[in-house]
A and B are shown apart, each in its own frame.
Chain A
Amino acid sequence: MIVDTQFVQFDSLSLDCGETLAPVDVAFETWGELNAERSNAILILHAFSGDAHAAGINREGKPGWWDNMIGPGKAFDTTRYFVICSNVLGGCRGTTGPSSMNPATGRPYGRQFPVITISDMVRLQKKLVDHLGIRRLLSVAGGSMGGMQALEWAVAYPDAVASVIPIAATARHSAQQIAFNEVGRQAIMADPDWNDGDYYDKKPPARGLAVARMIGHITYMSDESMREKFGRRLRGKDQFGFDFSVDFEVESYLRYRGSQFVERFDANSYLYITKAMDYFDITNGYGSLAAAMERAKARFLVISFTSDWLYPSYQSLEIVNALRSRNRDVAFCELPSNYGHDAFLVEVGEQTEIVRGFLANTFAKVQKDEVPA
């Protein structure tokens, strides 16, 4: 079945930085049917470079980024649940971002776009959920940056979520995570084509963006998965070129991923969204992680992966232990995987089993009114 992206426009959105965006467009997709009680809705939150197209096949014939997890009979079973996914604020796939038209100038925002945060993204998602007539979501779920948004939902709108599934996520970006993002941003800003963000009618900073993406891909894999996938294999040759052309498979892969990314992603969105991730610290305004988590009323399922060194298990455990210290309902498991941070997109089998059981149990509790509203 072909799935179409839908759009809705909101008059304005006030932001953490003090500015107001007006108007704001949101691109979203939905799968399955909302039940009469409106109690079976699940909001899927995409990671850094994702978009609203999480499942099904779009008109270009492209499957969604989490199509192996969302669909009939899958972990997020669309025969039982109404599943929603929207492109984040600051993105470049239909929701308002730096490449959108600035109504004040009639030109793309570029660097005029205000600096945004994860909580701004979630505030916009809340508008979408309200617009769809859903008072309380059965679940909010996402990996990586999607998991950060899920945590923000639980703390910012405790009455609007019955359960939360943060996968391979963190309650706050660490120095290492900020460092990798900064190198990506510097690669873009060092590209003369970036032109202080004003490039929409010119040549985009493709080289800088590609390098940023190459760095990203290294952090998404693990030493082991790279060894398995590439080893020291040479690319289309049996001896070194001695000329700085592509020698190794891994070089070829990274260059390919980099150049592919440039086709579908906006360099300014890269800057704004990574900055939002770096600013993210759920303890802001609460004093401690436990105090922040105390606000949450939802049930939690927290998942991490053994080989994920970008969002290591200890960060998930910090969340889990803060929840336990406030006696919140939380299930936690660290799944074995060699795929590094990418595991949340790849390790479908085990995630399916636990997500399905967790959702079914939560749904039963919601029907019986056992999850505090």
Chain B
Amino acid sequence: MKSPREPARRAFVHAILGRSDYAIIGELVEPGSRVLDLGCGEGELLQWLSANKQVDGRGIEIVPTKVQRAIARGVSVYQGDIDQGLADYPDGAFDYVILSQTLQETHRPLKVLREILRVGSHAIVAFPNFGHWRVRLSHLFTGRAPKTKLFPHDWYDSPNIHFLTVLDFELLCAREGWVMERRIFLAGTRKIQCLPNLFAETAVFLIRK
């Protein structure tokens, strides 16, 4: 069910948050739920979810200045590392655990995903698609580590340490037996349906065990 103001609101969310997957995440989260945002930065998403979806939100962020700004915003953020930071939460502590644009930066992605599905009933995982045609072309024609709008870093100073595609993630879900409840593919802020592994810049998956 979509309200007539939905597109306007999404544009607004995008304008203030500047990350296309935020608006989508807002769509996936049930109002009033318990949400953990991993790599929450300055807490913009949690603040928005708390104001608009009345969620009870928590965050984990490793960069101290971002943690300070998030707390100053009124968001309960824990300064720590995602790779280890989940261990202390009890099973099923959250309805949703959000991992937005961070999976490719974790040291042990599979361990992190398993931990996420231990502490949360659902996981919302958004990541940049390394299978996008521009990435493929960049690699093919330059013969170098791909550099595109989506992956703008040189190989030696990139925060991205694991490169995955839409197809890779779906194969992992199948292997682990995780249920894919929703899949949303974006090019810019536009949703796309066809050949996502080729055309999606960002993929957002809602999964559960």
Binding site for B on A (CB under 8 A): 299, 301, 320-321, 324-327, 329-336, 350, 353-354, 356-358, 360-361, 364
Q: Mark out the residues of chain B between 88 and 122 whose CB falls within 8 Å of any chain A CB in the assembled complex.
A: 88-90, 93
Indicate if the CB atoms of A331 and B90 lie closer than 8 Å: no
Contact B77–A327 (Cβ < 8 Å) = no
Q: Which residues on B sit within 8 Å (CB–CB) of A361?
A: 73-75
CB distance from B66 to the nearest CB of A (A): 10
Of B70, B75, B79, most buried by chain A (CB within 10 Å of CB) is B79
A333-B64 in contact (CB<8A): yes
User: Which listed residue, A327, A329, A331, A336, touches B71 by the CB 8 Å rule?
Assistant: A331
Interface of chain B, main secondary structure: mixed
Q: Given A354-B68, A357-B71, A358-B71, are A331 and B76 neighbors across the interface (CB < 8 Å)?
A: yes
Q: Is the CB of A301 within 8 A of B71?
A: yes
Given known A350-B68, A358-B71, contact A324–B76 (CB-CB < 8 A): no
Interface residues on B, range: 20 to 34
Name the one of B68, B73, B90 contacting A325, with C-beta atoms under 8 angstroms. Answer: B90
Which residues from B are CB-within-8-Å of A325?
88-90
Q: Closest chain A residue to B61 by CB distance?
A: A333
Contact of A324 among B72, B73, B75, B88 (CB under 8 A): B88
For B73, give its contact among A327, A329, A334, A357 (CB under 8 Å): A357
User: Interface residues, chain B, CB within 8 Å of chain A?
Assistant: 56, 58, 64, 67-80, 88-90, 93
Q: Are A333 and B68 in contact (CB under 8 A)?
A: yes
Cβ-defined partner of A333 (8 Å) among B73, B77, B90: B77
Complex: how many Å from CA A299 to CA B75? 11
Contact B90 A334 (CB under 8 A): no
- Whether the pair A299, B72 counts as a contact (CB closer than 8 A) is no
Q: A324-B78, A331-B78, A335-B64 are in contact. Are A354 and B89 (CB under 8 A)?
A: no
The 8 A-B residue pairs with the shortest CB-CB distance, nearest first, are A361-B74, A357-B72, A354-B71, A331-B76, A321-B88, A324-B88, A333-B67, A353-B72
Q: A335-B64, A354-B68 are in contact. Are A299 and B90 (CB under 8 A)?
A: no
B80 proximity list for chain A (CB < 8 A): 332
- Please give, as numbers and ranges, the residues of chain B lying within 8 Å of A364 by CB-CB distance: 74
**From residue B120, how far is it (CB to closest CB) to chain A in Å?**
12
Decide: A334 and B89 in contact? CB cutoff 8 A: no
In the bound complex, what is the Cα–Cα distance between A350 and B70 (angstroms)?
A: 12
Contact in complex: A327, B78 (CB < 8 Å): no
Complex contacts, A357 vs chain B, CB 8 Å:
71-74
Contact of B78 among A299, A326, A332, A360 (CB under 8 A): A332
Q: Are A334 and B71 in contact (CB under 8 A)?
A: no
